[in-house]
Each structure stands twice: as C-alpha cells, then as structure tokens.
A and B are shown apart, each in its own frame.
Chain A
Amino acid sequence: MKLYEMTLAELQALLAKGEVTAREVTEAFVRRVEEVEGAIHALVTFTPELALSQAEEIDRRRRAGEPLSPLAGLPAVIKDNIVTQGIRTTCSSRILENFVPPYDATVVEKLKKAGLVLLGKANLDEFAMGSSVENSAFFKTLNPWDLSRVPGGSSGGSAAAMAAGEAAYTLGSDTGGSVRQPAALCGVVGMKPTYGRVSRYGLVAFASSLDQIGPITRDVRDNALVLGAIAGHDPRDSTAAPLEVPDYTTFLDGDIRGLRIGLPREYLAAGIEAPVRQAVEEAIRLLSDLGAEVEECSLPHTEYALSAYYIIAPAEASSNLARYDGVRYGLRVAGDDLISTYGQTRRQGFGAEVKRRVMLGTYALSSGYYDAYYLKAQKVRTLIRQDFDRALARYDVLLTPTTPTTAFKVGEKVDDPLTMYMSDVCTVPINLAGVPALSIPGGFHQGLPIGIQFIGRPFAEGLLYRVAYAFEQSTAFHKQRPPL
C-alpha cells in the first residue's frame, strides 16, 4: 500500500517505529499532489517547501527524544477560508486573491503545536457559499471518483484532496453542510462538531451562528484524532464552549449494544434517490445486527429548515461580508469617491452567488423587514431545535442520508440555485440546531460514494464516533480508493 493511501493511525505507527521519516512521508504526499492535482484541482496554494521543512523539524525533534503528538509530521491540507499566517488565504474570492494573513487561526496554532506539516490550502465555493465548488472564483475542483462530477461543497477542495490522497488529513468548515456533503460525495469521513466545540477564531466568517470547522479524513479513528487536536475553549472566540475535550479515541470500542437509533421519517421522504435510500436501509440492518435498536421518529419542522436557513445564513453573511470594502486589505477598485470605491470594489471582487446572498441578507435585515424576516426565521429555528431536543431525548443518535443523491455532474445544477440548495436538505437543519453530525461512507452506486449521517446530542461527538466506528468496522467502504 502506498503511503498516501494509508490512514493517519497507520502512518503514525510507521513514524513511531522509525520505519519511515516525516520527511519521507511528506515527500510521498508531495509527489502524489504533483501526480493528481492536474486532474482534480483541489488546491489554491501548494506549499511543498514549507511542508518539507516542517517535516524535517519534526524528524529532528523525534530523534532528540521529544514527545510528539500522533499528528506530528503528517501532511495536512486546510480549507482556504481558515487563515494561515504568512500564507495566502483567499476564500476562493477575487476580493482576497492576494491577502496574506498576519495571524494563524486558533485551529492552525493548535495543529502547529501538534507538529503540523502544511501541504496546501484547499479550494472552496467563494466564501463557503455553495455546494459544489463551482462558485470558486478561480477554478473548479473535480471529484476524484469521476472527473466529470463535482466533489460537493463548499469544502470540496478538502474532500477531494482527502479522497485522492493528497494529504493525510484535511480541515473543512460547515455552515449548512459544507463538511458533510462533500465528505459524502467523495467517500470520506466528515464531522461537523457541536456549535462552539471548535474555535472560530481565524475562520473567515460566513454565518456566525452556524459556522464550525471540522475534520475531513480517511476514517473514523483519524477524524477522532484530528477533532481532539483542534477542539477546545478559546478566549479569542466568545462563542467557543468552555468545556473539556475528551479523548475521542476512547469511544472507538465497537460496542453499540442497546444503542437507540432514531430514523427521522422526514429525511427519507421523496427526493432521496433510490440507491441512497437503499444504503440507509442496509445500514439499519447492519446496526441492528450489531445490537442497536432502530426506530422511526419524526422531526416535524424539517420542511421549514431550508427556508429558515436561506433567510438566516445570508442575513448573517451580509453583515460579515461588509468588511470587504477595499480599505484595509483585499482588492480595491478606485471609484470617484469613497462610496463608489466600495461599490466598485465589491462589484468586481465578489462573484454572483456571493452578491446574491449579500443582497438577500441585506434585504432581510433592512428596516421594516427585520422583524418579519430575520426574527421570524429565528423563531422557526427554535422550533427546529426543539424537534432535535425531543428526538435526542428519546434516542441516542439519529440516522439519515447525508445527501439526496450521489455526486452530480459539473454544470448540472449551477444555473438553478434552487436545485443546488436542495442538496443541503439533510444537512442544514443540523446547523440551525447547533448539534453535531458526522457523515461516513455508507456504500457506492455505479462507482460513486454514498454518505450516511449520524446526528447526536450537543457535545456528544464521542458517541457519534462510537456508532460510526462500529458501523465502519463492519464494512469495507472506507477502504476503497478512487481509480486515480
């Protein structure tokens, strides 16, 4: 097996035994990027020299007998809306095309302490707004399982890089499904933690009450390792929860006897394609065989979630994106006066989807409409949250498909924003409720990955990893690699 096909845990074992150096591992991933990047275009910025020098430093520390984290020396790719000091961070937008952050995101600082080897920054839909990376201002990323199809989005670059073996692990961000949906379409594992589990300091804000950073990895164990390294309180993020971070790997014992799994019927309604439905049904059988009790339940306000999200997220985005005005950083297009400088800068700097959401959000928050639109949507959000609270009081976890379909073709949905939005129907309610959810490989259809989603109680990521691991270890989906 090639080094770039291995899991974090497998690579870490080789490093610990001294069978391979971090430099050799990094070289293998660098070569892999050189081999496949031309086909998938997952990276906005590729930093091989930096990665090799970081790897050498880890090797030096290991030779000196220093204790090292399990992630030390293993190359990572980070979504390009997470700031990395001294390394261009663009959000795949023209307005930040040459922006070089003067600071690291908290998650980057934590990973550096754990021995980060940064291989590159991953492509995304501009400002994380989209479900296919077709909204990137620079180029499209393609699905390693079928190069005529999208990898999903907005963390499509991270998911494609992970699937293709361009990194040992990756980070994405999730506001309405942007970690889970691309993980599902690319056949890898993606976790959106509980809101507040991971610091948002240094994550370029899209919708502040919904955004979370999450790992996209080869398998469940790797995901648990990375989440453990990036989670935790942060005084620089006043929305980060002041809660201890458990060792998530201790939940990987494969025992789910007696676990109560709820199946919200609204998530298996019309619109879910037959092969996806089948994958969920097979998962139910397998989980029952492993001793879990699976029962249908209801989240009655599910049908309102997309509408609430498409008021709340753009509203928050319009406020967060007001900072891109050409004054202190980013693109500036000079106008006749200050106001027209703002107008022209944003006109040229933002892509169509970003402009659409900024306009929508501005309208929803404007005087005379705030109460009727934004406030009303936030009340509906409470009802959606209460649905989850009630269901998760009766059941330990909920099981749903991650997406209604497998990966769609490039260009298939980009002209109809409404159909594109529907690909988020199983993921969006989770962000509104703030609960954690994990997508793992649940099957294949005609060579394309299918993801299944487990949803848990707030701060119960450990339980999610337990059930996902038990399922994963009884299947071989996570062992498959794209024919690239």
Chain B
Amino acid sequence: MHEPLLAVSGLTKTFRRGGKAVPAVEDVGFAIMPGETLALAGPSGSGKSTIARLLLRLVEPDSGNIRFEGADWLALRGGALRSRRARLQMVFQDPNAAFNPRATVARVLDDPLRIHSIAPRSERPRRIAGLLERVGLPAGLAARTVHELSGGQRQRVAIARAIATKPSLIVLDEAVSALDVSVRGQILELLLALQREERIAYLFISHDLGLVRAFAHRLILLEGGRIAEQGDARAVVDAPRSAVGRALVAAAPKLVAGQERP
C-alpha cells in the first residue's frame, strides 16, 4: 500500500462578509495517490475553488490538517514552504489573468527555473526549449509575448510553467473550460501524457460532469462547502446518490436529435 501524495482531513474555512460568517468549506477530507486524478465538482459556491486556495496556502484554514509528500503542509513557513511549493503547481481557467501579458514566453518559463534554482542561468535556455517541446510548442515561440498567442497556446505555456518545477501534484482549476472543444481535446491529451510519463497527480476542478467522468479516476461532489458524495468517477456520475449529484447529472447538456418543427 502506497502512502497518499496528499491527505486532507477536517478542512474548514469560514469567511466573514459584512460581519456575517459565511462557511466556505466545512470538515472536508480526502486523499490523492501519486499519478491519480481526483475531480472536485459542484455548483458555484460549493467550495471547489476555496479548497484549491487552501491547498496552495493562498488562504489559511480555520482548522484541519493537510499532509503533502509526507510533511505537515500547514506547518511549513518561509523558505521551507517556498522550496516545497515547487512540487504543487496550479493551472487556471484564464491564462490571460495568470500571466503578465507583455512578458515573453521565455521569461514566463525562466522565472520558475530561476526562483526555484532548478537550473543555472547558462542552462536555462536549453531547459526552456525542452519545456516548450514537452507541451507541443515550437521553440521559436520563446521570443513571442504571451498576448500574441492563441488561447490554446497560452494554456500550453501555463502547463509548461507548471511542470518546470517538476511537481508531483497540479491543481487544474477549470483549466480547459474556456478552450474551444477542438483545442480542449489536445490539452487533455497533453495532460494525460504528462501524467502517464511523470506520474503527476491532478486535482481537477470542473463543473462539467461529462468531462470529469472521462478524465478523472475519482470524484468528490461538493455542496455548500461539504462533501455530498464521493467515489469512482464513473460510478458516481452513472448513479448519483446525492441530490446535488442528481441535479448536476440532469443539468449536463446532452446531444439530442431534437424535435422537428410541426
């Protein structure tokens, strides 16, 4: 039996809005194994993105434990946190918002290599070319600025930046939701190839149950900050037991032959 890569228990976070306590995440626990994809799905406000921000230490929980790669993740501070953070990366829905638009692709990929001391300066151009090749982009793109790229190219650069620090876990927060369907398929293929070859685990946040069922091994359905249901992704979607699961399945757009007009 392997150790989980990530183990979360009792995670709770309440925000204060105008003096009122708004529980965002309540007593959430789960584990992710190396090389596994765990999906988080649920309606807006169900706590998906707050869980991602808690894992990334962008906000601190009120209570709960997070163990990542065997360490007490919430106890890490300063330099220890910075050095470990390289192992947990994130790709957002909108790569525009995640980049300085005037930065070149080379600059975007140089930063993590430099900040995390992955490669000395003399070696970094070669590493950058390698990363671009890894995500299926031509090396010549390195000199272009991010805003010159198509949406699919930008998301490939975001993935290249995420894998630059050799992470064991990447949080994908609606990372393919804004892409055209033809591009989406290619990005999903890329993510699956990276997972196969480098055993990267994914926390895959999405509201699209069809996509979740096809892409993730396991699925957690959230409602109001709590876990409503969890299990094998296909088993949960094929026969949801929770009310929110049934509502999400019923609401998923389905290709139908439609009715001809009378």
Q: Are A and B interaction partners? A: no
A residues apposed to B, CB below 8 Å: none
